[in-house]
A and B are shown apart, each in its own frame.
Chain A
Amino acid sequence: MTTGGSARRASAVGASARHALSAVAPIALVLAAWEAATRSGAIRTQVLPAFSSVCAAIVDLVASGELSRHLGVSLGRAFGGLALSIVLGVLLGFGMAANRHVRNFFDPLLSLVYPLPKTALVPLTMVWFGLTHQAAILVIFLACLLPMVINTYHGVRGVDRMLLWSARSLGTSERRLFTRVVVPAAMPSIVNGVRIALPIAFIVVISVELVASRAGVGNLINGYGSMGVYDYMFATILVFVAMAFIADRCLVRLGRALLRWHETQ
């Protein structure tokens, strides 16, 4: 029994390793093609530096601490704005779901700003706060707020009435009803909102830093681009792209761990 189980587990590990390998292979192929095209001279290195020299630039940027400084600024802004939007968005979403007056007040305002591409607010916060962290965090917060509010609101409104009725009939107090039934039932939708908001935070932080900033990854990319130091520019791009991807994966994992009890998982 145990040997059969461990053998099955071993083969499952083998299968998932093979699966991971088959998923990494195409990306490795693209990178190899990049290296080959630049080495053979098919693409001039002034236009696209070789992958190997970009890797060397990454090592140098990491060693000098330049990258971690700017990455720290960007991630701090992105997660700062995101965290603010989660707190206020969830509060507002609960408020709108619970109270008709709150809903009637905010619903028209939210549908008014809904179709605005939120990066259009970058010049406005630049005028208000200059090239500062506050300006960046404010735009990121505003851009991420909407998905958080909408997802929380729909999560709360979508709570199964049967759950509420049965909890009430079992004598649950209104306060416990909220913390024990409403919040957990709305959780999948809220986590989903965070997953929508995270890439928005990354898009907006890059936009702010390309347009109006003295620090951060976007600023670094822009600086290297205008100085013509393209291997360092692509190195920075590659690192940020990898960070965004890893952040998304971590969030998916976290969501799964948080919602382990939920039936859709």
Chain B
Amino acid sequence: MIRKIAAASYSIVLVAIVWELVARAGVVPFFFLPPLSVIARTFVAQVADGVLVSEAWLTLFRAMTGFAIAIVVGVTLGMGMSRFRVVHWFFDPIVAVALSVPTLTLVPAFVLWFGIGHESKILLVALSCVWSMAVSTYNGARNVDTRLIWSARAMGTPESKLLWKIVVPAAMPFIWNGMQVALPISLIVAFVFEMVAGGGGLGFQEIMAARFFKSPDLFAALFAILLVGFALDRLLRTLRARLVIE
């Protein structure tokens, strides 16, 4: 057991030790790479006085609200595309373009349209995530075993219930795939928007630290971002394992 853990993590420990030694020896300037121990102390202090925690909540609020909007709109759009030919005709090319396009180019436009508060960030997160939700929902709905639908119909399920009782549950694995693709996108957009337009949050915290060459603060924010990404990824995986029977 101990051997296994050691084998699985020795490289991380090694990198951490080399980092500490190189930084302490003064091989690189302090503001390029502060020692890991200094960063850890900064991180703990900023978590304790609540700075990092409140900034993290701010970013999470923006990213998750936008993500939630994208799920609702994207699933509706995907279902609509699978159900109605005209919706599919209209949105298929638009989704194809939107999927391969970096929506972050729209940051200055969203600042113009919605200001620099929460709205612009939430809406750009939603716009960036909605397409992969729509595509995966559409693929899921198209992939539903037609025999399921036939037998439900044969047993007298009304059309209105067919969607919620058959199509949505059967498409669920695809929808979860879409969420796992969209989740990191929501974080990327939220962080970058905060870096460009300000208004608090971990992205803003990090870029301010960089502008004032406060390297320990920069790395502390970077680790907080890593933790947020890790926690959300785990949360989504756990939820999926709990909720979906595949």
Nearest CB of A to B160, in Å:
28
> For the complex, what is the distance from the CA of A115 to the CA of B234, rounded to whole Å?
9
B-contact 0/1 string along A112-123, CB 8 Å cutoff? 111111111111
Q: Find out whether the CB atom of B226 lies under 8 angstroms from the CB atom of A116.
A: yes
Flag if B94 contacts A211 (CB, 8 Å): no
Residue among A30, A116, A211 with the most chain B CB within 10 A? A116
Q: Which residue of A lies closest to B231 (CB)?
A: A115
Return the contact of A124 from the options B106, B187, B218 (Cβ within 8 A).
Answer: B218
**How many Å lie between the Cα of A123 and that of B31 in the bound state?**
12
Do A127 and B32 have beta carbons less than 8 Å apart?
Answer: yes
Nearest A residue (CB) for B7: A104
Find out whether the CB atom of B112 lies under 8 angstroms from the CB atom of A230: yes
The contact of A240 among B105, B112, B203, B213, by CB within 8 Å, is B105
From B94, B102, B107, B218, residue with most partner A Cβ within 10 Å: B102
Residue of A117, A124, A224, A230 near B184 (CB, 8 A) is: A117
In the complex, A128 Cα to B225 Cα: how many Å?
19
- Known contacts: A30-B94, A105-B11. The answer to whether A127 contacts B104 by CB under 8 A is no
Given A104-B11, A225-B109, A225-B111, is A199 in contact with B102 using a C-beta cutoff of 8 Å? yes
CA distance A113 to B229 in the complex (A): 10
Q: CA A257 – CA B104 in complex, angstroms?
A: 31
Q: Does A13 contact B (CB under 8 A)?
A: no
User: Which residues of A are found within 8 Å of B191, using beta-carbon distances?
Assistant: 117, 119-120
B195 in contact (CB, < 8 A): yes
B226 touches A115 (CB 8 A): yes
Given contacts A27-B93, A117-B229, A203-B102, contact A122 B11 (CB under 8 A): no
Instruction: Give the interface centre of A117, A218, A237, A248 by most chain B CB atoms within 10 Å.
Output: A117
> In the complex the two chains form, what is the Cα distance from A212 to B211 in whole Å?
10
Output the nearest chain A residue to B234 by Cβ-Cβ distance.
A115
Minimal Cβ-Cβ distance residue in B for A43: B113
Count, A-B residue pairs, CB within 8 A: 145
A17 to chain B, nearest CB (A): 15
In the complex, the answer to whether B102 meets A202 with C-beta atoms within 8 Å is: yes
**Shortest Cβ distance from B165 into chain A, in angstroms?**
32
Asked if B146 lies at the interface with its beta carbon under 8 angstroms from chain A, I say no
> Which size class do B's interface residues fall under?
35 or more
Inter-subunit contact B218/A26 (CB<8 Å): no
Once the chains bind, are B102 and A206 in contact (CB under 8 Å)?
yes
Q: Is A24 touching B93 in the complex (CB atoms < 8 A)? A: yes
With the chains together, A234 CA to B112 CA distance in Å? 11
> Is A165 in the interface zone, CB < 8 Å from B?
no
Report if A26-B31 is in contact (Cβ < 8 Å); known contacts: A115-B226, A206-B105: no
Give Cα A211–Cα B89 distance, bound, in whole angstroms.
38
Which residues of chain B have C-beta atoms less than 8 A from A108's C-beta? Answer: 8-12
Interface residues in B91-129 by Cβ distance below 8 A to A read 91-94, 96-97, 100-102, 104-109, 111-113
Interchain CA distance A217-B105 in the complex, whole Å: 9
Q: Are B94 and A22 in contact (CB under 8 A)?
A: no
Interchain nearest-CB distance for B218 vs A (Å): 6
A126 to B10: give the CA distance in the assembly, Å.
30
Write out the residue numbers on chain B whose beta carbons fall within 8 Å of the beta carbon of A106: 11
Q: Does A170 contact B (CB under 8 A)?
A: no
Cross-chain contact of B104 among A24, A207, A234 (Cβ < 8 A): A207
How many angstroms from the CA of A26 to the CA of B96 in the assembled complex?
12
- Residue in chain B with minimal CB distance to A127: B210
Q: Does B209 contact A (CB under 8 A)?
A: yes
CA distance A48 to B9 in the complex (A): 53
A222 at the interface (CB under 8 A from B): yes
Other A-B pairs, 9, CB within 8 Å; known A119-B192, A120-B226, A207-B195: A119-B188, A123-B195, A123-B210, A127-B210, A207-B188, A210-B104, A218-B105, A221-B108, A241-B97
A-B contacts, 25 listed (Cβ < 8 Å): A23-B93, A26-B91, A26-B92, A27-B94, A47-B113, A108-B8, A108-B10, A109-B11, A115-B226, A122-B192, A124-B210, A124-B222, A127-B213, A199-B100, A199-B102, A203-B104, A207-B188, A210-B104, A221-B105, A224-B108, A241-B101, A245-B97, A245-B100, A245-B101, A248-B100
